[in-house]
Amino acid sequence: MMEMYQYQQKPYNLILSDLCHVINDVIPDTIGIYLHGSLAMNCHNLKKSDIDIIVVFGADLKLKSELRFLIEQIMNIESKYDTSIEISIVSKGSLSNFIHPSRFIIHYSKLHRERYLNDPDYFCGWDVDPDLAAHFYMIQQRGVALCGQQIISLFIGEYEKAYWNSVLSDISCDFDEAIENKVYYVLNYCRTLMYKDEGKVGSKLEGGLWALDHLEIKFKSLVGSAIRVYKSEIQEEIDLTEFKKFREYVLTLCGINLGEKNPI
């Protein structure tokens, strides 16, 4: 068993410990397990945020049955702690010989939960994901090695350009898709501008707080509402007209043609 990073805050210490034990039990030759996203940046909301994990494996192939069993164990941890986990397993070669979009061995998130539960043959694996570039770069910049090889010696690829392209692809989704999760996109637009202006990789909450200090006053009420909803259990309506104006403002600043779905 690898030496594990001791996360202090409850219940995250228990969740991460359970995750690491399950992963190492199923994949004994795991190179490392890495945390990124809001929990790595100390601004996680247990009820609203995913726990974001990348697992690095030494080879590129593994028995499908063992990987399915691993996903079942991860879903059990989600149920035990009433939280959401997003995890991708990648090979070591995808980090050192980085190609965008990168290939993953298996992926799981709450979007796949029902299919994994209801279809014993369902398997999201051996495919490519353009979002992995963003995950790799976030780990390189602000990730936490929960166990295994150090980040500095493993995440050695040139991920930054692909990270920015991945960010632009995410924020340039169709308007109808964006309005289904306005809080997410308001804060995502904010952290995109933070990175564009200052080169800082941040969480959604950090991006929102940055925006309150740096954006024009006409957008601050919208951003403030998104932050309050994100940080708590309150229900607060995000004004659709203001959301549309802010989206257009951000996409224009980022050079995205509003008439195109994905201009990258």
pTM of the model: 0.90
Q: What confidence category does residue 64 fall into, taking pLDDT thresholds of 50, 70 and 90?
A: confident
State phi, psi for 117 to the nearest 5 degrees: -70, -40
Per-residue pLDDT, averaged over 155-168, amounts to 94
State phi, psi for 188 to the nearest 5 degrees: -65, -40
Per-residue pLDDT, averaged over 110-135, amounts to 94
Residue keyed to tokens 């028995």: 63
Q: How many CB atoms lie within 10 A of CB 226?
A: 28
Q: For 170-228, what is each residue's pLDDT tens digit?
A: 999 999 999 999 999 999 999 999 999 999 999 999 999 999 999 999 999 999 999 99
Instruction: Tell me the pLDDT of the chain averaged across its residues.
Output: 91
Per-residue pLDDT, averaged over 56-79, amounts to 87
Alpha-carbon distance of 264 to 252, in angstroms, equals 14
What is the pLDDT at residue 29?
83
State phi, psi for 195 to the nearest 5 degrees: -70, -40
Task: Give me the DSSP letters along 62-122.
Answer: --HHHHHHHHHHHHHHHHHHT-EEEEEEEETHHHHT--SSEEEEEEE-GGGHHHHHH-TT-
Task: Give me the DSSP letters along 148-166.
Answer: ES-HHHH--S--HHHHHHH
- Comparing 27-41, 53-67, 159-173, 194-208, the range with the smallest average pLDDT is 53-67
For the record, the structure tokens of 126 come out as: 């051996």
Per-residue pLDDT, averaged over 40-55, amounts to 89
Per-residue pLDDT, averaged over 73-81, amounts to 97
